[in-house]
Amino acid sequence: MCGIVGFVGKKQAAPVLLDGLSKLEYRGYDSAGLAVRDGEKDPVIVKAKGRLKILSEKTADGDAVKGGCGIGHTRWATHGEPSENNAHPHCSDDMNVVGVHNGIIENYVELKEKLQRHDYKFYSETDTEVAIKLIDYYYKKYQVGPIDAIAKTMVRVRGSYAIAVMFKDYPGEIYVARKDSPMVIGIKDGQTYMASDVPAILKYTNQIYYIGNMEMARLDEGKATFFNLDGDEVEKELHTIEWDAEAAEKGGFEHFMMKEIYEQPKVVEDTINSAIKEEKNQLSVDLSAVGITEEDLKNVSDIVIAACGSAWHTGMVNQYVIEDLAKVPVRVELASEFRYRNPLLNPNTLVIVVSQSGETADTLAALREAKSRGNKTLGIVNVVGSSIAREADYVLQTLAGPEISVATTKAYSCQLVAGYVLAIALGKAKGHIDAKKENELLTEMKTLPAKIEKVLEEKERLQWFASKFANVHDVFYIGRGIDYAVCLEGSLKLKEISYIHSEAYAAGELKHGTISLIEDGTLVIGCITQNDLYEKTISNMVEVKSRGAYLCGVTSYGHYNLEDTADFSIFVPKTDEHFAASLAVIPLQIIGYFISVAKGLDVDKPRNLAKSVTVE
Ligand code: F6R
């Protein structure tokens, strides 16, 4: 987490840094800081606790800090409380090295002790100060220049980092390095930009370099030179980013979350279209961009899906879809558990990792664990050039575009349809789906965007409902099968942005203990999109209603007798039941959003969270 930005060029650096940080604030927002150098003068460091706007005020929107070379940081505290003292940039006492860092240095205590033995003093509780002072130590001890000093530090530290530093002796230059934390470098018109994520610099350039793991770079005006750990120069290719800068702005919506909810029809359509083709009025799956062949799929014995949070929830949905359509056993694992539990994998187990950011530390570790065992890996990833996108054997890219709101919506929806496409391809390769069935399923999938639009028309009604429940304490989401998986996501959406306790339960499981929590007025939201489970789930809803629950039901058009049981009913268009999660989740996202708004909370930046979880 945390966001870093750097700039070196002919313009004033501070406004560019603040602007970039504002696009990265979703990565961390408990404090921020910047360091800017004017020619050969020492850097001016300004820091502020709290949101970025305090730093902007302190620097008159950057105008008060002169100079064309600088680095900035927005923090999500890991070591030490959020405070000005712990905020980045950090520096050596003589200002020889000044730097910002995203990630975690695991052995910082041991390194701190080592540096203390060499008379270094520490003013903050951060691991970053230790890393900066270690660079300073190697720089002075070996007198070998910035790249070698950073390389020696990289060999010595354990953990993950994207780091950017300026050296007193090298005005007009920024040195960067990364391991397991994202970083991009952009160039345009004699200016060089660096950031943890593309949206921070997209306004200025769409020409991007991706710096590899365990690599370093020297940035000066309009130029980036890359180095490996031996200090040898490495060539890099410039990539053109197709997203436009506007896609990363709010576009008239009050919050990114609602903007992203409304983008779902378009991005789901783009993602579906990117993986199918039409020939002679016949739709078929086309995984040529993914790189996996029909033969590869035929050889898959079983699947493990590893992911975190909402991405894990899409795995839960797709477990049902893949097993039903392709008859291939699927296990869904939390990436944070998978990586440490010595999982049993068959030689032909395909390990699918799902991630919006492509940088989630646990998911990346799960991918590496699978690869180290010789298993084939497939990444369902949104961010091009991210670590998972680069390391997975096959990549199915979701086309959600930049997702800024911390609570995912559109990336979740794209992950769902990516899973459906894989399920169909696998079903076909395994001989369970013929061309006719494939065409039918894909034709239905192509109707999902319009059906999502239809659900969005319910917005005002859902807002009315949500505003009534802004003060509840507990909410339960219940469903069976795919509906249970949708409930997991609905519940997470609510709790993460509205700070209301909620749980998702398989509807049949509630009476094995949890039903004792139901009392007068407890809100229970039942999801019932699967026909053969309809009566069963209705019975479970009646069970909680008779214990005082206030019932909200989500079902598909036609099941109007839901109104006999539920106090508030939401109807979504009918679709093939395998794809029902794509519609049922929409009202749950909207309810979560409006409850948060009604409580006056910061929807896009909920407390304690950050968008990209690059620490374990
Ligand atoms: C919840 C949410 C998180 C992420 C999780 C994985 O709204 O966004 O639960 O789904 O942190 O992130 P990615 O998909 O980037 O690996």
Taking the centre of ligand 1 as the mean of its atom positions, its distance from the CA of residue 381, in whole angstroms, is: 11
Parallel, antiparallel or unpaired: strands 302-307 and 349-355: parallel
CA–CA distance, 432 with 430 (Å, rounded to integer): 6
The pLDDT of residue 128: 94
The pLDDT of residue 28: 65
Contact 483, 537 (CB under 8 A): yes
The candidate with the shortest Cα–Cα distance to 71, out of 6, 119, 132, is 6
Taking the centre of ligand 1 as the mean of its atom positions, its distance from the CA of residue 310, in whole angstroms, is: 5
Encoded amino acid at 568, one letter: F
CA–CA distance, 191 with 62 (Å, rounded to integer): 18
Residue pLDDT, tens place only, 317-341: 999 999 999 999 999 999 999 988 8
Find where tokens 């007798």 sit: 561
The candidate with the shortest Cα–Cα distance to 86, out of 134, 118, 55, 129, is 129
Token pair in block for residue 524: 């229970």
Catalytic residue among 2, 69, 487, 552: 2
The pLDDT of residue 384: 77
Q: Is 574 a catalytic residue?
A: no
Q: In the chain, count of helices (H) and strands (E)?
A: 19, 27
The pLDDT of residue 245: 67
Residues of the chain with confidence (pLDDT) below 50:
none
Parallel, antiparallel or unpaired: strands 394-397 and 376-381: parallel
The pLDDT of residue 160: 83
Q: Is 552 a catalytic residue?
A: no
- Cis check: omega of the bond before 265, within 30 degrees of 0: no
CA–CA distance, 331 with 444 (Å, rounded to integer): 26
Model confidence pTM above 0.85: no
Q: In 10 A of CB 193, how many CB atoms?
A: 27
218 bridge partner residues: 175, 225
Residues with CB under 6 A from ligand 1: 308-311, 355-357, 360, 363, 407-408, 492, 496, 612-613
Burial of 249 (C-beta count, 10 Å sphere; 0-12/13-18/19+)? middle
Token pair in block for residue 306: 């590893």
Token pair in block for residue 240: 């053109």
| φ and ψ at residue 357, rounded to 5 degrees | -75, -30
The pLDDT of residue 118: 96
CA–CA distance, 334 with 321 (Å, rounded to integer): 18
How far lies 245's CA from each of 23, 504, 512, in Å? 11, 37, 51
Rg of the chain taking only CA atoms, in angstroms: 25
Contact 554, 507 (CB under 8 A): no
Tell me which of 613, 614, 615, 616 to substitute to probe ligand 1's pocket, judged by most ligand atoms within 8 Å of the beta carbon: 613
5 bridge partner residues: 72, 195
Contact 5, 185 (CB under 8 A): no
Looking at ligand 1, which residue's alpha carbon is closest to its atom 10? 310
The candidate with the shortest Cα–Cα distance to 472, out of 507, 518, 514, 541, is 518
